[in-house]
Structure 1
Amino acid sequence: MEMTGFRHQVGGHFGLFECTGHVAKPVNAREMAFYELLTDNIRTFTPAYCGRVLVSTSISEKGELTLSTPSMFDCHKRLPHTPPSTSRPKKMRFRLKNGKVMVDLDKNENTFAGECQAKVVHRLLKNGPSWFILLENIVENFEMPCVLDLKMGTRQHGDDAPAHKVAAQMRKCAESTSALLGVRIVGMQLFDGPSGAFNFVNKLEGRKIDQQQFYDYFYLYLRACGEKRAKILKKRLEAIRNVLLEAEGFRFFSSSILVAFDAIGREDNIRVQMIDFAHSTFPGFCQDALYYGADDGYLQGVETLIAQLEFFLESFPETPESCASR
């Protein structure tokens, strides 16, 4: 089974790939264990976890690279497949040129995704077959996915992080909106109808965004969402908040909330998922340090988002200059 680059990746450190309704990411032992041991009340808010698979790569005489796995997958419940439209872009392909992995991107595509994925493909070529975890692709049937990746919490480093990593992550939090709001933008893509292209915000830009700019970017995403989707998003975040208030000892360091909707799809269709658990923990997990109570830093970020949604819905359909202007 062939894997191709996941063109709608907007955040993260490692390249993501896709095949048969799944997103595949390089295995992290802690994250895989977290998914396997996750309690049902929190699992409700995560993409379906479908195990792991061994991925290898091959090179053609022309330098074309193919990623493949020997397995077929039919695990989580998938939505009925929608035949691709003529506007849907071709699959992301990789090739080797002068010893460097290149990715074929269309004009106006997200170069961040291609760069992340090329690094992973390079490691596969260097080190041989590697394990990937498989997660439900929540945008599989979206024609024009509008995606927002939000890094949650006031702390991003795990307990196992070395001193230099702790210092670097604390600095990122202090210099971004993470410390103040409990959330920052990791990445965003929005479909622009008039131009027929996506507009992007990458993680480096997200770290530079101040409080007012964060509100403005979030408001821009909500305007694209529309009122119906925004109401669903608010209810979903409130449900996440209620579950996390009761999640004794859980910590979701460096975890994200991923929001996605189809720019040309149904007005009531929006997905909201908790993702990225490489540094998460709970009592009894991997002999980690014990924490008590709820994850206040993560909850602060959720409260920030809910408050902005309330402001947006109160002002809809008016268009104030900034949702920070209270």
Structure 2
Amino acid sequence: KVVLLEPFVHQVGGHMSMMKYDEHTVCKPLVSQELSFYESLPLAMRQFTPQYKGVNLTLLCFSSFPAGVISVHLKKDSLGNLTLLASPGLQAESCGRLDHAIGDSAVTIWHKCKWAASTGTGSEHTLVKRCHTQITKTFKDSQLQKEERPHEKSHRAHRARKMLLRTDLQYHTDPLLEDANGNQPERKSYNPWGLHCHRQHLNRMSSKYNENKLHQFLLLENVVSKYSYPCILDLKMGTRQHGDDASEEKKARHIKKCEQSTSASLGVRICGMQVYQVDTGHFLCKDKYYGRKLSPEGFRQALRQFLCNGNHLRTDVLEPIILQLKALLSVIKKQSSYRFYSSSLLIIYDGLEHKENTAPLDNHLQGHFQKTNCTTTHGTNHARVDVRMIDFAHTTFKGSKCNHTTYDGPDHGYIFGLENLIKILQNILE
């Protein structure tokens, strides 16, 4: 089976392109240090990271690459459009036979994605529209063989191959910014940052490699798949962002970014976010450039905005978010030698409020809830939220295959950021 990868429309931060593999799985370019982290992930941290889809998905595993890794093949169609084809089980020597394998497949899929990225003057209210049409055609060879002549059968296979490879990604600008009075036709919108990363990634791949080059991607859980309108906050955690392997130039650049942002003063800065606005039906989007400019007070106001849906403050998600952050803090304090340089923390809740979106607290959170003497007006049922650590390409720990330096004790810069984040959210709640 060859899977045509789509840009992940809910990517709000980072510079690596996230791709949608299926409804519950995303993939990203493999970095050996990140793979090492997931392969040796401490049990206590698993609830706070995306599921690493390894041995559980045998279809996606094959002998020449580690479990949970797929090969990705860059391909141009007849119109010159670049596509990414994920090929579980595909080996380097079989690349030349890729088209033949596709032509023989029983199910062919034609994805046509049309993107419109806005070009407003500010990133605060940047919105993007995405129209996605997927046409699936299934050919039953046993029936078709009876009805078709040989030349018709050959033509059908050729047409099927063309359909699978044709991914018409059209990028054009379309102003979707609301005016001062909020005048704008009702339309769904998605974060444009994922498109930005996807375009850059395709350009890098096409300029550095030919079409027969196989690329390894890491398969991870799509942590937002269960949300109707995922509101996502991407936070760069810690007071230091450069990895041990960074060049002097890169090290100086990252130190400067930290010094000039809330990374230094609070141990955390905003890397991107999207918030569903129920009054307009749009996602309000902000990027990392916005986050770098924020003062400590601006950071507090941005957190408040993340929790505002255009009508009211989502106090129903505040308490479960705080509880999960406290539980994560307790876990991080016990992770000796770990340094999560340049990693991010995702906070996620659903922009759609309904009773079905509530869930009882997990046992470990319920216990923490009782220990902290917190009170709630919602009983034991809370809005569903997620707190997940992501991006471990520069994470180091004792025993890591890519370890350059072994550190003692927990990551105090990360802890500093978590503690400040919890305090700010508690103040908002109060």
Pick one of 307, 315, 335 that aligns with 1:247: 335
Q: Distance in 2 between matches of 1:198 and 1:304?
A: 27
Is residue 70–residue 219 contact of structure 2 (8 Å, CA) maintained in 1?
yes
Is residue 4–residue 92 contact of structure 1 (8 Å, CA) maintained in 2?
no
What pairs with 1:165-244 in structure 2 (closer than 5 Å)? 165-224=250-309, 226-244=314-332
What pairs with 1:108-127 in structure 2 (closer than 5 Å)? 109-126=190-207, 127=209
Match of 1:84 in 2: none
What pairs with 1:1-326 in structure 2 (closer than 5 Å)? 1-20=3-22, 21-50=24-53, 51-71=68-88, 90-91=131-132, 103=171, 107=176, 109-126=190-207, 127=209, 128-224=213-309, 226-265=314-353, 266-267=357-358, 268-285=383-400, 286-314=402-430
Q: How many residues align?
A: 296
Gaps of 5+ in 1: 73-87, 315-326
Match of 2:125 in 1: none
Deviation per CA, 1:284-309, whole angstroms, max 9, x where unpaired? 22342111111111001100111012
Deviation per CA, 1:200-237, whole angstroms, max 9, x where unpaired? 11011111111110000001113347222211111110
Deviation per CA, 1:38-90, whole angstroms, max 9, x where unpaired? 11112221000122111113232233443221239xxxxxxxxxxxxxxx954
Q: Distance in 2 between matches of 1:217 and 1:92?
A: 35
Q: Distance in 1 between matches of 2:288 and 2:195?
A: 14
Gaps of 5+ in 2: 54-67, 90-128, 135-164, 177-188, 359-382
Is residue 130–residue 190 contact of structure 2 (8 Å, CA) maintained in 1?
no
SS at match of 2:74: strand
The percentage of counterpart residues that share the same residue type is: 37
Is residue 4–residue 91 contact of structure 1 (8 Å, CA) maintained in 2?
no
Q: Distance in 1 between matches of 2:79 and 2:226?
A: 32
Give the TM-score, by structure 1 length: 0.84
Q: Distance in 1 between matches of 2:9 and 2:261?
A: 26
Match of 1:78 in 2: none
CA RMSD of aligned residues (A): 2.5
- Give the Å deviation of 1:2: 1.7
Is residue 95–residue 102 contact of structure 1 (8 Å, CA) maintained in 2?
no
The amino acid across from 2:194 in the alignment is A
Deviation per CA, 1:136-186, whole angstroms, max 9, x where unpaired? 001113221111000000000111111011100000000000000000000
- Give the Å deviation of 1:92: 9.3
Rate the CA distance shift 1:118–1:159 in 2: closer, same or farther, 3 A.
Answer: same
The amino acid across from 1:278 in the alignment is A
Q: Distance in 1 between matches of 2:132 and 2:74?
A: 16
Is residue 83–residue 167 contact of structure 2 (8 Å, CA) maintained in 1?
no
Q: Distance in 2 between matches of 1:166 and 1:221?
A: 31
Rate the CA distance shift 1:89–1:114 in 2: closer, same or farther, 3 A.
Answer: closer
The amino acid across from 1:166 in the alignment is K
SS at match of 2:327: helix
Is residue 56–residue 124 contact of structure 1 (8 Å, CA) maintained in 2?
no
Q: Distance in 2 between matches of 1:159 and 1:302?
A: 22
Give the TM-score, by structure 2 length: 0.64
